[in-house]
Amino acid sequence: MYNKLVLFDIDGTLLLASNTNRQILIDALMAVYGTEGNARSYNFAGKMDSVIIHDVLKHAGLKDKHISEKFTTIKNTYIDLVKKHLRHEDIQLLNGVPELLGELSERKDILLGLLTGNFEGSGRHKLELPAINHFFPFGAFADDAHHRNKLPAIAVERAYSLTGRMFTPEQVVIIGDTEHDITCARTIRARSIAVSTGTYSAEQLKSHQPDALFDDFGDTQKVVSCIANI
């Protein structure tokens, strides 16, 4: 019987994608809008893909209407290019991740899912390359809302559709590498676990008061026990 819903962020938490990922977004922006805006310097960490696209184009002076008109095209172009050009060697699985997912997926009391700023198509591709996509039967993605803070409730609803189990806020654990992951957990009073394997240092994450904080997921038993008892 499930009693914990554990939602993982992707980039910086499960894996690191090479700079090819940024270049692919730049190529997609150029192809669809004819400008890359400030996509070369924009900080992607913890941001929704949809918000990144919007922000970098606004920076180039494009109007909301113009951005929205082609939004489906840019989204599909980006996902297609990720599937075509992002390769196995562009993805680095973070320390302890396969072991942790292996252990968690064996447990009958834990349901795994994703809560990520990636679009589903490109996010799933990033997970498929290092063969960890199968651990996640469902998720909440950038396709689902414009703000990350809306994603926890969507994930809980999807978990209910999938399992018939309605998880209470304290049974939900959101795991990520940025302040945005911690903040979005707080919106539904879920538990948050931060990991400093992305661009945020342990000190930076600590100042946002996650319920638990790890340097990495190298110690599988320690992390599993933290998740089970948080």
Residue closer to Mg ion by CB (options 15, 156) is 15
Our finding on whether 49 is near Mg ion (CB under 5 A) is: no
| Total residue count of the chain as it appears in this document | 230
Contact residue for Mg ion among 177, 191, 210, 213 (CB under 5 A): 177
Core vs surface per residue 56-70: b (16+ CB within 10 A) or e = bbeeeebeeeebeee
Our finding on whether 179 is near Mg ion (CB under 5 A) is: no
Our finding on whether 90 is near Mg ion (CB under 5 A) is: no
Q: Is the dihedral angle over the CA atoms 158, 159, 160, 163 positive or is it negative?
A: positive
Identify the CA nearest to 27 among candidates 78, 72, 66.
78
Contact residue for Mg ion among 9, 36, 49, 90 (CB under 5 A): 9
Residue closer to Mg ion by CB (options 13, 67) is 13
Contact residue for Mg ion among 11, 36, 49, 90 (CB under 5 A): 11
- The least distance separating Mg ion from the CB of residue 66, rounded to whole angstroms, comes to 29
Our finding on whether 12 is near Mg ion (CB under 5 A) is: yes
- The least distance separating Mg ion from the CB of residue 178, rounded to whole angstroms, comes to 5
Which residue has the closest beta carbon to Mg ion?
A: 12
Angle between helix 71-85 and helix 120-128 axes, rounded to 10 deg: 10
Where do we find the tokens 């209910």? 160
Among 86-94, 158-166, 170-178, 209-217, which window interacts with Mg ion (CB under 5 A)? Answer: 170-178
> In this structure, are strands 110-115 and 139-140 parallel, antiparallel, or unpaired?
parallel
CB 175 within 8 A of CB 11: no
Residue ranges binding Mg ion (CB under 5 A): 9, 11-12, 177
